[in-house]
Amino acid sequence: MDEPGSQTDTLNFSAQVLQSELPVLDEIAEEYRERLRVVKVNVEQEPQIALQLGEEN
């Protein structure tokens, strides 16, 4: 299991995040719901948001 706050890169992002059995964002959102807001953005449907944040995908 990865350490909390561990880094990822293009080689292991899919395995660590996209294919993870752990609910990465959902778990964080639930645990910290009184202290922060976690949102998901589909950048293919909302490309302007990605551009504002300097992300391409």
Residue 7 placed within a domain: no
> In the chain, how many domains are there?
1
Helix (H) or strand (E) holding 29: helix 24-31
**Per-residue pLDDT for 1 more than 50?**
no
Confidence of residue 5 (pLDDT cuts 50, 70, 90): low
Residue 2 placed within a domain: no
Phi, psi of 48 (to 5 degrees): -65, -35
**Tell me: the pLDDT tens digits for 13-29?**
888 877 877 767 888 88
- Structural domain boundaries enclosing 37: 13-53
Q: In this structure, which amino acid lies at residue 14? A: S
Residue 3 placed within a domain: no
- With 0.75 as the threshold, say if the pTM is over it: no
Residue 6 placed within a domain: no
